[in-house]
Amino acid sequence: MPDYQELMAQAAEQLIANIKQAQELNLAAVGVIRSLAQLAAPLSTEGIAGQASALAGDAVHRSVEFTSKLIKLQADYAARLLAEVGSPAGQG
């Protein structure tokens, strides 16, 4: 019978696999929508689309940067908390 840590590890792996699958499906859908939009949109919208893409790329970069900082902050906090909890009373 698996223990708690094994169950949590399996759940985490399954969650990551599910997120990856959802991302792949989303990328495929975006590709289809983009292809359809190119067929329907006039050629004069190419410049606007390029600007929107650059702005979206910048927003994604900032979002990932923020998330990375947040994860590092949480990891640092967890390490400090574990160190504090593991310290004998009065030696923190």
Distance CA 31, CA 87 (A): 53
Torsion of CA 6, 10, 16, 19, to 10 degrees: -140
Q: Map out the domains of the chain as residue ranges.
A: 1-40, 44-92
Helix (H) or strand (E) holding 46: helix 46-86
Distance CA 40, CA 87 (A): 65
SS3 at position 92: coil
What pLDDT digit, counting tens, does each position of 16-73 carry? 999 999 999 999 998 898 888 778 766 666 666 677 778 888 888 898 999 999 999 9
pTM: 0.53
